[in-house]
Amino acid sequence: MIDMKQKIIYHVLKKWDFIVQRVFYILCGLLFICTLISSGNVILRKFFSFSSNALLELQWMFFSAVFLLGAAQLLKEDGHIRIDIFYNKFRPSLRRKLTLCLHIFLTLPSLLVVFYMSLPFWLNAFMPLSPDQSWFHYLFFDQSHFEYSPNAGGLATPFAKMVLPLGFLMLIGQVISEILKLFLCISDD
Amino acid sequence: MTELLIEFLPVAMFLCLFALFLTGYQITFALMATGIIFGLIAVAVGALDIGVFAGIPENIWGQVMMNDTLLAIPFFTLMGLILERCGLAEDLLETIAKLFGPIRGGLAYAVILVGSILAATTGIVAASVMAMGLIALPIMLRYGYDRELSTGTIAASGTLAQIVPPSLVLIVLADQLGRSVGDMYMGAMLPSLLLIGLYCGYIFITSLISPEKLPPAQNSFSPSLQHRQIVIASLPIFLLLFYGAFLLFSPEKAVLFSITDTSYDQLIIWIFVLIGLIAIPLFYNLKGQKELSDILRHLMATIIPPVILIFLVLGTIFQGLATPTEAGAAGAIGALILAICKKRLSFSLLKEALEKTAKLSTFVMFILIGARIFTLTFYHLEGHELIESLFGHIPGGAIGFLIIVNIMIFLLAFFLDFFELVFILVPLLAPIATKLGIDLVWFGVILGLNLQTSFLTPPFGFSLFFLRSVTPDKDYTDKITGQIIGKITTTQIYKGVLPYIVIQLIMVALVIAFPELTYIDTAQELDMSLIDKQLPILPPLTDPVTRLF
């Protein structure tokens, strides 16, 4: 019975890791496009006297998507930087228990707070829906209800603001996945 | 009781953060959790309103996501990684070591020169130190260079990437100090050139005092040519490149033909420089010295592309043609083109470089997000006033403040990476510095130099780890001469960097003593009469249509 449970958890964890990895590959592509846009901006401005606020905004919108959504992948690979003067000298089992405790009692609640706060922040970028509109129409046809960036010719912000809660949601998912992995490790010890 | 608790909260925050850092927990989460948990405690005791937390997404959106300055980080990293992967360091080292080797101390000069070029292009300390440790160190040991001197020179030259523009440290500092990256680069230009000069001076003095430490290497270009001949023939190339660099960094000197637009003048001069460069090997070819001509062409093929890239990136920033962010992106594309020209670009190279860039920028930006959340609570609990009162009473005014801050950062840098130091401490220190009348570019350059020094200081200096990881820890047989060469001990590396740490500290002291080195305008008052003159007199509006609006 316990084995069955563990198997299911393993399976779910594997699926989740796969999704995070795929998202990260997409982000790498996004980063490359971002580089192209940014260098394209210089060339357009210098040689064709053309500049567009939309293109300028696209740069940081893409980049913020990269680092907010990429944080989960970084956590998966244990890439977030730490000070390892003492950490390296701990026994692996102690290291695991310490990380598990801190993940559960510090990181998970604080990430939840940030996520909870960023949701209304994102939703406020949409103007309220009037009763005669359908959501579908609202999202895809009538974009006058979106909040726009204050720059002339700026882009609609809801899509950029979306990555904030989404990124933290992915991070929460990854922290839970790490916690489960550590539980499985510790129960194996 | 509650008031005492509230007074104590900011102190407790710092202590708690430090404790979490020492457990080796991920720094960004430590920052985030301290900020939020203490914020919740403050809400519970009634010191803060729960609405404070609504500031978190606003803050991340406005300060982190919309940040145009920090957008330069992924671009410069991508540029550096692509250049690293396409073997720029190896090519440069091989050629320049051959050219300089037969001079006394030449290999050390070559390491410093290559270190500076790499610093201005790849800007990655680990890559520079490791490449030079792998390629230059065996050559230096083969010719009997002093072990301490060689390892020290390699570690120090590789670390130049921290201060020579376009370095990431300066970008991050500029962002946190609220100054433009261009100003910061301009300010760091002269100090970093001086630093390179001091390094070379150290090698020169050593070669005078104890020449046995730096024996000249053999001429390895070609048996039939004398080394002197090659050096003389290649001298014009370097002179032309220096002239080009000089033009780029002081555009007002380019008015030679007095055509109305300076940029056309510069274009013409640049065309002349390029023609001159092409003409040199051609000249020797026509003279019948085919071998020499080939060597020169090879030399140019390795040196000129990175130099052009430096001009492209730094030049466009200094001349105001592009923002540092765009210049970084253009540099990344330039690096890509260079890799294509060298036929070393592959899909896997690009993919790896992009993945590494994405990861590096994620961890940097997430430290910033963590630091933002931490400082949000810290500011609301009025912790910054605590710090201000702490630093406000340092005797000696601005200089006293700078000395104390530098000592503090130097000590903290033993434990913390520069990103954490800059993101956590600099926002707290910058307002105090402004109050004391310290120019923030000056302050930033001093901090940059200081943080660079921390890369070299034993026992935790990163460069020393990087060098240690590529140096032989067992005796080995040299492939070419067949002689047995002893291992490098860690103590040798530590002793080797000591003179360079002294040089660094001298440089920090010099910049503190002479703020002019950072190009800041100490006294530039506005001439009101000039401004009056520049206002054009507008004709009265007569058109009825325009008057309406």
Residue B367 to residue A81, Cβ atoms within 8 A: yes
Q: What average pLDDT is seen over chain B? A: 84
* Residue among B394, B448, B383 nearest B176 (CA): B448
Q: What is the pLDDT of residues B116-125, one digit of tens each?
A: 988 888 778 8
The residues facing B418 across adjacent strands are none
Minimal Cβ distance to B33: which of A83, A85, A106: A106
pTM: 0.86
Q: Which residue has the higher pLDDT, B301 or B253?
A: B301
Residue B65 to residue A118, Cβ atoms within 8 A: no
Residues A106, A110, A111, CA angle at the centre, nearest 5°?
A: 115
Q: What is the pLDDT of residues B26-42, one digit of tens each?
A: 889 999 999 999 999 99
B279: pLDDT confidence band, cut at 50, 70 and 90?
Answer: confident
User: Is the predicted pLDDT of residue B526 greater than 70, yes or no?
Assistant: no
Chain A interface, best mutation among B354, B360, B374, B465, by max A CB count within 10 A: B354
* CB proximity A142 to B under 8 Å: no
Q: Select the highest-mean-pLDDT range: B387-396, B451-460, B524-533.
A: B451-460
Give the minimum alpha-carbon distance from B176 to chain A in angstroms, rounded to a whole number.
18
Segment B217-230 mean pLDDT: 76
B389: pLDDT confidence band, cut at 50, 70 and 90?
Answer: confident
CA-based nearest residue in chain A for residue B327: A39
Q: Would you state the pLDDT for residue B317?
A: 84
* CB proximity A53 to B under 8 Å: no
Q: Would you state the pLDDT for residue B543?
A: 56
Contacts of A169 in chain B (CB under 8 A): none
Q: Would you state the pLDDT for residue B259?
A: 45
Q: Is the ipTM of this complex over 0.85?
A: yes
Peptide bond into A128 cis (omega under 30): no
Of the listed ranges A137-151, B93-107, B254-268, B496-510, the one predicted with least confidence: B254-268
Segment A120-145 mean pLDDT: 69
Of the listed ranges A82-96, A129-143, B54-68, B505-519, the one predicted with least confidence: A129-143
Q: Would you state the pLDDT for residue B46?
A: 82
Segment B448-454 mean pLDDT: 89
3-state secondary structure chain A: CHHHHHHHHHHHHHHHHHHHHHHHHHHHHHHHHHHHHHHHHHHHHHHHCCCCHHHHHHHHHHHHHHHHHHHHHHHHCCCCCCCCCCHHHCCHHHHHHHHHHHHHHHHHHHHHHHHHHHHHHHHCCECCCCCCCCHHHHHHCCHHHECECCCCCCCECHHHHHHHHHHHHHHHHHHHHHHHHHHHHHHHC
B242: pLDDT confidence band, cut at 50, 70 and 90?
Answer: confident
Q: What is the pLDDT of residues B46-104, one digit of tens each?
A: 888 888 888 899 889 988 898 888 899 999 999 988 988 888 888 888 888 888 888 88
Chain A interface, best mutation among B75, B326, B350, B412, by max A CB count within 10 A: B326
Burial B487-520 (b: 16+ CB within 10 A, else e): ebeeebbbbbbebbbebbeebbeebbeebebbbb
Q: Would you state the pLDDT for residue B536?
A: 60
Listed in sequence order, the residues at least 6 apart from B495 whose beta carbon sits closer than 8 Å to its beta carbon are B148, B152
Q: Would you state the pLDDT for residue B479?
A: 75
